[in-house]
Chains A and B, each alone.
Chain A
C-alpha cells in the first residue's frame, strides 16, 4: 500500500464549480499534513497546512480526519488559474523528516 494515495484524475470541471480532492495516508504516526500545488514543470508550492480542526483560506478548505487517516481539500468558485496538480503531503514527524508526497491530482478548470 502506498504511503500517500490520491486519485490521479484528471478532474475536468467548469469555471465556478466546487471541486473536492481526497487523500489517504498509511502511517498512523504522521504528524503534519499539507496540500501543495505544482504547476507543470515547476516546483511544488505550499497551498495550506491541514489541521485536525479544519482550516479555511479564502476559497480553499482543508480537513483532516486522523481516525480515518484521510485528508481533503475543497476549492470553491474555481478559477482558471486553479488548474494545476494538487499534492497531498505528509510529514511523519521526528526532528527532521522529509515530506512524503502523493502522486497528485491533476485539475483542469475549463472556461
Chain B
C-alpha cells in the first residue's frame, strides 16, 4: 500500500517553543493531506485539511495562527505548533489521499508524532 512518513516520531519541548512536524507521501502524489490529533482514549479529530498550493482549511475550534500548515509540494505538508503549551501535548497524525484515488477516497496515515510539552 501507499506509504506516508512523518518526522519527527516524537518530540519533547519546553512550553513556549514552536514545533514543526513534516508529513510526506513517499510513493504517490497528494494534492490533499489531512492533519488529525488524538488525545488519550479519544478518537482522532480532524484539525485541518491541507491543500497543495493554497491555504489550509481549519476545522471549527482549531486556531489557524497557532497551528500553521504549509503544503508546498504534492508530497510534503508541514504542521507547526507555535508557542506550544502543555495542553497541546497529543498524538498528531497526518494522512494523504492519493491524487489518483478517484471515488475511493482512501486515506493513508503517517505513523504519527507524539508531542509532549513540558
Residues of chain A whose beta carbon lies under 8 Å from any beta carbon of chain B: 4, 31-32, 34, 41-46, 49, 87, 91, 96-104
Minimum CB distance partner of B45 in chain A: A101
Question: Which residues of A have CB within 8 Å of B1?
Answer: 46
Extra inter-chain contacts (12) besides given A44-B44, A96-B97, CB under 8 Å: A32-B105, A41-B91, A41-B114, A44-B93, A46-B1, A46-B106, A46-B107, A98-B95, A99-B34, A100-B46, A101-B44, A103-B42
Chief secondary structure at chain A's binding surface: strand
Give the contacting residue for B46; candidates A34, A42, A99; CB below 8 A: A99
Question: Contact residue range for chain B?
Answer: 20 to 34
Contact string against A for B residues 40-52, beta-carbon threshold 8 Å, 1 for contact and 0 otherwise: 0011111001010
Minimum CB distance partner of A34 in chain B: B106
